[in-house]
Amino acid sequence: MVSNFMDERSFEIHLRALEEKGLLLPAEIERIRRRAQGEEPRAWLYFILLGVGITLVGGGLILLIASQWDSFSFITRIVVACIPWLIASVISVWVWKQKNEDWAWSEFTSLAWILTIGVALILITQTYQLQGDAGWLLWWWALAGWIAVVALPSATGALINSFISVHAVLQLISGIRPESGLLVTLPLVLLGFIFLIARFSSLAPWRQGVVVFAMSIASIFIGVSSTQGDPQSSAHLPYWILLIGMTSIMTIIVGTYGSRFIYTLRTLFSILSGILLLGTTQLFQSQTGTWFPQTMQWTWQTIPNLIIQLVIVLSPSIVYLFNLKTWDTWKIMVSLLPVLSWIGWGVGGILGAIVLNVSVIGLAGVGILHGYCTRTLSTLNAGVILFIGLCLLRFFDYEWSFLARGIAFITAGVCFLTLNVYTRRFFNGKLV
Decide: is 126 part of the binding site for another protein (CB under 8 A). Answer: yes
Q: Does 129 bind another protein (CB under 8 A)?
A: yes
102 is an interface residue for another protein by CB under 8 A: no
Q: Tell the smallest beta-carbon distance from residue 143 to another protein (Å).
A: 7
Distance, in Å, from the CA atom of 268 to the CA atom of 4, rounded to the nearest integer, reads 12
Choose which of 1, 57, 84, 85 interacts with another protein (CB under 8 A): 85
Report the C-alpha gap between 241 and 65 in whole angstroms. Answer: 41
In whole angstroms, give the CA distance from residue 251 to residue 196: 13
Q: How far is the CB of 286 from another protein (least distance, A)?
A: 5
By beta-carbon proximity to another protein, the closer residue of 273 and 379 is 273
Residue 121 touches another protein, criterion: CB under 8 A: yes
Q: Phi, psi (5° rounding) for residue 295? A: -110, 0
Is residue 124 close enough to count as binding another protein by CB under 8 A? yes
For another protein, which residue of 10, 89, 174, 357 counts as binding (CB under 8 A)?
Answer: 89
Cβ neighbours around 93 below 10 Å, total:
13
The reply on whether position 287 binds another protein by CB under 8 A is: yes
For residue 233, the surrounding DSSP H or E stretch is none
Judge contact between 164 and 145, C-beta under 8 A. yes
Three-state helix/strand/coil letters over 153-205? CCHHHHHHHHHHHHHHHHHHHHCCCHHHHHHHCHHHHHHHHHHHCCCHHHCCH
132 touching another protein, by CB under 8 A: yes
Work out whether 131 is an interface residue with another protein (CB under 8 A): yes
Between CA 271 and CA 389 the distance in angstroms is 9
Task: Map residues 393-422 to x or -, x wherever contact with another protein holds by CB under 8 A.
Answer: ---x-x--xx--------------------
4, 234, 286, 411: residue in contact with another protein (rule CB under 8 A): 286
Q: C-beta of 131: minimal distance to another protein in Å?
A: 6
- In sequence order, which residues have a C-beta less than 8 Å from that of residue 196 and are 6 or more positions away? 270, 274, 378, 381, 382, 385
The angle at the Cα of 110, spanning 107 to 112, to the nearest 5 degrees, equals: 105
Mention every residue, 6+ apart, whose C-beta is less than 8 A from residue 333.
Answer: none
**Residue 395 neighbours by CB under 8 Å, 6+ apart:** 59, 63, 405, 409
Exposed/middle/buried for residue 350 (C-beta within 10 Å: 0-12, 13-18, 19+): exposed
User: Of 48 and 188, which has the nearer Cβ to another protein?
Assistant: 188
Segment lying near another protein (by CB under 8 A), choices 52-60, 131-139, 239-247, 309-317:
131-139
Report which of 303, 286, 185, 180 is spatially closest to residue 233, judged by C-alpha positions: 180
Tell me the closest approach of the beta carbon of residue 245 to another protein, in angstroms: 26
78 binds another protein (CB under 8 A): yes
Whole-angstrom Cα Rg for the chain: 23
Residue 224 Cβ vs another protein, minimum distance, rounded to whole Å: 16
Question: Is the separation of the CB atoms in 232 and 173 below 8 Å?
Answer: no
**CB of 248 vs another protein, minimal distance in Å:** 26
Instruction: Kindly write out the interface string for residues 359-378 of this chain, putting x where it contacts another protein by CB under 8 A and - elsewhere.
Output: --------------------
Name which of residues 140 to 199 contact another protein (CB under 8 A).
140, 143-144, 147-148, 150-151, 179-180, 182
355 lies in the binding site for another protein (CB under 8 A): no
Q: Which stretch binds another protein (CB under 8 A): 8-16, 45-53, 116-124, 299-307?
A: 116-124
Q: How many residues bind another protein (CB under 8 A)?
A: 44
Summarize as ranges the residues that interact with another protein (CB under 8 A): 67, 69-70, 78, 82, 85, 89, 92-93, 96-97, 117, 120-121, 124-126, 128-133, 137, 140, 143-144, 147-148, 150-151, 179-180, 182, 279, 282-283, 285-287, 396, 398, 401-402
